[in-house]
Amino acid sequence: MLTINDILKSVKFNLTKERRQRILDAYEFSKKAHAGQMRKSGDEQIQHSLETALNIARVGMRSKTISAGILHDVPEDTPITLLEIEEKFGKEIATLVDGVTKLGKIKLRGSQEEYFLENIRKMFLAMAADVRVVIIKLADRLHNMRTLEYLPEEKRVRIAKETMEIFVPIADRLGIGEIKGDLEDLSFKFLDPENYQYVKNLEEKQYQKIEKYVNETIEELEIELKKESVKIIETKGRAKRLHSLYSKLKQHDMDINRIYDLAAVRIIVSSIADCYEALGIVHKKYHPLVGRIKDYISLPKPNGYQSIHTTVFGPEGKILEVQIRTKKMDDEAEFGIASHWIYSKQEKEGWKKYFLKNKKNHPEKEVAWIKQLREWQGELGKDDEEFIDGLKIDFLKNRIFAFTPKGDIINLPEGATPVDFAYMIHSEIGDRTMGAKADRRIVPLSYKIKNGQVIEILTSKEKKKPSQDWLKFVRTSNAKERIRRKIKQE
């Protein structure tokens, strides 16, 4: 049974007397409100509140968000009103609880399109208003998924599908790798139990074989790094997630021997300079596999993930992946946008001010794409179908990077074209687009850009209007809206 002390022990911030008392007060209030209520699993309702709060604490959120997590079901499941919560805990916590309550009321109704309309729109608008509401919802969903077996089969499949299609991409977009991985594996378990069990058995069998090998590699690398005076914060082994392993297996004819990153060694060091020095030491000790070095520090993933990945011939010549990153990068890889509360000094400043203070380390893109949701919905007006289609492409699809000839990075959804790229740079460039080059080769404007390509846009010197035909192949809502607006003006 979980206790409030488990939550207090899991926090990642300075637990002052005031913050501690806030969490304790929320617990006592929620416990009293939920007295006598039981879950389908047979647990008391307060256990769900505590599990949600524990998930929130583990990703680095602070006392107000944890308190809101403990209180999140009170207005929905008890006679206590939101006004009473506001009087007891203040407007900020009450607003968070209200946001989670509203998201909780969104249910699957009728058609798939209605489902996307009612669920995704409100989910993303809540994210735009205060991302903490969605983090609480993810924490709530994670515990619900862990107890999904107690629900009827039809409900299990529906909730698992909703989790895989909506909550997994949101956790990924927010960079919360820990919650994303757990939700993905739990959904996989209920959506495809046969393959889930097959992969689980396969991984357990293989991992037992290589656990000793991974530990041997860690010992050897620690010796080499210490010799060169590289400060190691932590070294650890990491097994591949089940759904991620299944996706890789499908790409390699279900042959596990063709997967090099079944397990990885992770080296956590104190600075970026140490990351690159450690990379040199790893390659000095073990030969790298050509073409398998990925530098996500100089070129982070679209969700902000940073690390160096290299695949090497380790002890006995066996192939193994090594990941190198700082402690801050490791926290951000596990906890994503939530990790920024760990590093911000003042709780009231919140995540936006943190980004603004740290522009060099954290470009404003993390804030910009959330802010864009509100502006973008306003531009699209009341066309629900277009809004949903845009969300599917712009926010729930995989992202790629492309470069301008000057080296600027443009973040795009998979399947984006040079016209999308042009409009991401500037609407004027988009309007004047005449042609495009990908890696110095002329390509059609409908060409699907590949990750890491250098794209050059060829423009008209004179003003021109975009072509109506572009609407047949552009992917981003930004490009569609700009093209339509320009054509309408003309």
CB-CB contact of 421 with 427 (8 Å): no
CB-CB contact of 66 with 7 (8 Å): yes
The structure tokens listed for 218 are: 């860690």
Q: What phi and psi values does residue 456 have, to the nearest 5 degrees?
A: -115, 125
Is 77 known to be catalytic?
yes
Contacts with 368 (C-beta within 8 Å, 6 or more apart), sequence order: none
DSSP string for residues in 392-461: HHHTTS-EEEEE-TT--EEEEETT--HHHHHHHH-HHHHHTEEEEEETTEEE-TT--PPTT-BEEEEE-S
- Cβ neighbours of 268 (radius 10 Å): 22
CA–CA gap between residue 18 and residue 34 (Å, rounded): 24
The three-class DSSP label of residue 291 is: strand
Which one of 28, 76, 228, 439 is the catalytic residue? 76
Which one of 6, 77, 84, 414 is the catalytic residue? 77
The structure tokens listed for 414 are: 């998979």
* Residue from 328, 343, 338 nearest 234 by CA: 328
CA–CA gap between residue 475 and residue 451 (Å, rounded): 15
* Residue from 388, 334, 450, 431 nearest 125 by CA: 388
Question: Which of left, alpha, beta for 62 (phi over 0: left; psi -120 to 50: alpha)?
Answer: beta
Is 211 known to be catalytic?
no
Give the distance, in angstroms, between the CA of residue 207 and the centroid of all CA atoms in the same chain.
Answer: 26
CA–CA gap between residue 72 and residue 109 (Å, rounded): 23
Which amino acids are annotated catalytic? Answer: 76-77
